[in-house]
Every structure is written in structure tokens, then in C-alpha cells.
Amino acid sequence: MKLRDFILRRMILAIPVIFGVLVITWFLAFQVGDPAAMYINENTPQSAIESIRKAHGLDEPPHIQFILYLTNLFQGNWGESTSTSFRPVLEVIALKFPATIELAMLAMFFAIILGIPLGIISATKKDTVVDHFTRVFSLAGVSMPIFWFALMLKYVFYYQLAIMGLPHLPGSFRYDDLMFPDFKYTTGFLLFDSIVFEHNPRLFLDALAHLAMPAFCLGYLTLAIITRMMRSSMLEVMREDYITLARSKGLSERVVIYKHALRNALIPTVTVIGLAFGGLMTGAVLTETIFSWPGLGTWAARAILNSDLAAINGFTLLVALIFVTSNLIVDLVYGTLDPRIRYG
């Protein structure tokens, strides 16, 4: 009951946030260019341009246009993506979303699975070789720009290995369509589809190989952030009195660290994980573009290049929704980790 009220209240509070995002992105996009430009070419007669403007409501004053946009939005009409053969934005999102989510999930999975243990080891073996190595590794992660790191990965693991005639990682796309010409997506999640619907382990492995570089590239920043956060909060927690108490009980160091310290140290780390998940969406734009990943990121990047305003607005709205949702999930996880946090 209490939990449901909390979720409900948070969702209501999200409305002004989303509205703010809509106002800002729509008016910014409105300044950028004329949406009608995408529908015409040098041969289009002036009268036809006028009728295109009228058909899309572009002859109305800006505030009316914005209200029109909101009305359409609530009716499930997010506009037409002019750079994707005039298909409805929502349809394109539905088509490309699974590719991005699969990439982001794997990046996140790998960042958490590696980041938390690395942070713990780094903290408990403070000032040793392991710690120094981990710190350099994570500092590199937060300092390197994704686009540069992605190119370097591709240069080494794809280009250099390939010209040396060694087995190399694929550098673009989700799977090899020459090897699997008959494959059709069912849910759009390739790892899932290949096993459940196609019963094809070779396709699964091929998909994994294609995911390896982009997922590592996208996850590295998050991995670095999680490692650093975990290390510092672990160091802080290890100085707390309740750790001394746990030791005074005769608990082994392993239990002290992995039971008494970890649960407390995870609380700030979970916040960072939640925020980073939203960040993965923006990181995906760069990563996907470089690895020709047929996901939302590539689509959004192309939309920006082509002044595809409806697509830009749609993508921004989607990212905002993901941010709000992941923050809500973080707050729920808080409550299970820390009993002092009460919903209400």
C-alpha cells in the first residue's frame, strides 16, 4: 500500500519534469530549422509548399504548434521521422529500441559485474599493486572520450588483427547477415531471439562477438565510475564503528567485508548506477555511430544531421523517460538496502 502510494506519487512528480523536457527540446528544435524543408525539393512549386505547411500545422503561431505537438503526443503520434522514409517516430523507436537496450544492458551488466568487485578489492587492498592498477584503469575509463576509445578498440581488435590474418572481433552491425541470410527478428533482442526462436547457438555466439566491442566501449566509462565510487565508499565504510563491532564479534575478515561493509557501501554506488544508466543512452549515440549499430543512437545521430526534428524530439523524450524511470528504480532499491529509508 505504502509502496504503491510512493510509486504513484513519484510518477506524478515526474510529469513536470517531462513537461519541462518537452518545452525545452521542442522550442530549441523550433529555432533550428524549418520542418517543411524535408518535404520539398528544388522542383516543388510554391503553392505545394504552402499546402505542406498547412497540412502539418506549420502556418500556426509557435504556441499553437506546441499545443498541437502535445496533443499528438498523447494520441500516440510522435510525428514522422523524415530521415527514415517518413515513418512514424514511435514505430521507428519500437523497431530500433531493442538493439540499443540489448547493448546498454550488456554494457551495464559488465560494468556492475566487474566494477563492484574491483572497487571492493581496490579498497581492501589499498595502496598495493592491485589498487594502483585498478585506480589507473578506472581513471583511464573516466578520462577517455568514448569516440576516441571506440576507434582505438576498432583499430586494434578489428583492423590490426584482421590485417595480421588473426581471428578478430567484428567491427560493425549486430550479426553477420551473409552467414545468417534467413534470420528475421521476433522480439528484436538478438541474444534472446537466437536461442528461443531460432534455436541457433552459432547465431547467438556471432551476436555476442558483435556485441563485445561496443558493449565494452559503452560500459567502460560506467565501469570506471562504479569502481571509483565503490572504492571510496568502501574505504569510508571500513572506518565506521560498526565494522569494529563486527570484528570484535570474531567474524572473519571476509564476512566483515562482504556482509557488514558491502551492504552499507552499496548505497551510494546504487545512486551512481542509476544515473549512469541514463548516461548510457547518450553514450550509445557515439558508440552506435562508430560501430554502425542499428539502434536508436545511430538513428538519433542521423536525425540531427538531417534536421529531423520529430525524431530528435522523440529521442530526447525517450531518454528523459528512461532517466526518470531509472531514478525511481534506484529509490526503490535504496529502500531494500537501507532500512532507515522509508517511503512516504
Q: Which is closer to another protein, CB of 246 or CB of 281? A: 246
Q: Which is closer to another protein, CB of 54 or CB of 263? A: 263
Q: Which is closer to another protein, CB of 162 or CB of 251? A: 251
Contact yes or no for 99/295 (Cβ under 8 A) = yes
User: Taking CB under 8 A as the rule, does residue 247 contact another protein?
Assistant: yes
User: Taking CB under 8 A as the rule, does residue 140 contact another protein?
Assistant: no
User: Taking CB under 8 A as the rule, does residue 246 contact another protein?
Assistant: yes
Residue from 252, 258, 282, 292 touching another protein (CB under 8 A): that is 252
Count residues contacting another protein (CB under 8 A)?
19
User: Taking CB under 8 A as the rule, does residue 260 contact another protein?
Assistant: yes
* The three grid cell numbers given for residue 49, joined into one nine-digit string: 509548399
Residue from 31, 47, 241, 344 touching another protein (CB under 8 A): that is 241
Residue from 44, 128, 186, 244 touching another protein (CB under 8 A): that is 244
> DSSP class of residue 258?
I
Of the candidate spans 74-82, 166-174, 176-184, 246-254, the one that interacts with another protein by CB under 8 A turns out to be 246-254
Contact yes or no for 334/328 (Cβ under 8 A) = no
Instruction: Tell which residue, 324, 268, 19, 12, has the closest CA to residue 4.
Output: 12
Shortest Cβ distance from residue 11 to another protein (Å)?
27
3-state secondary structure of 81: strand
User: Taking CB under 8 A as the rule, does residue 249 contact another protein?
Assistant: yes
Site for another protein in 264-293 (CB under 8 A): 264
CA distance 50 to 39: 11
Sequence-ordered list of residues with C-beta below 8 angstroms from that of 72, at least 6 positions apart, any chain:
78, 79
For 31, 37, 39, 118, 253, the CA distances from 60, given in Å and listed in that order, are 15, 16, 18, 57, 70
Shortest Cβ distance from residue 234 to another protein (Å)?
14
Residue from 1, 248, 305, 344 touching another protein (CB under 8 A): that is 248
Site string for another protein, 312-341 (x = CB under 8 A): -------------------------xxxx-
Contact yes or no for 137/224 (Cβ under 8 A) = yes
Length of the chain in terms of residues written: 344
User: Taking CB under 8 A as the rule, does residue 258 contact another protein?
Assistant: no
* The three grid cell numbers given for residue 135, joined into one nine-digit string: 585506480
Contact yes or no for 23/317 (Cβ under 8 A) = no
Instruction: Tell which residue, 318, 285, 295, has the closest CA to residue 190.
Output: 295
Residue from 43, 250, 305, 344 touching another protein (CB under 8 A): that is 250
Q: How many helices (H) and strands (E) does the chain have?
A: 14, 2
Shortest Cβ distance from residue 272 to another protein (Å)?
18
3-state secondary structure of 41: coil
Residue from 3, 263, 282, 292 touching another protein (CB under 8 A): that is 263
Q: Applying CB under 8 A, which residues contact another protein?
A: 240-242, 244-252, 260, 263-264, 337-340
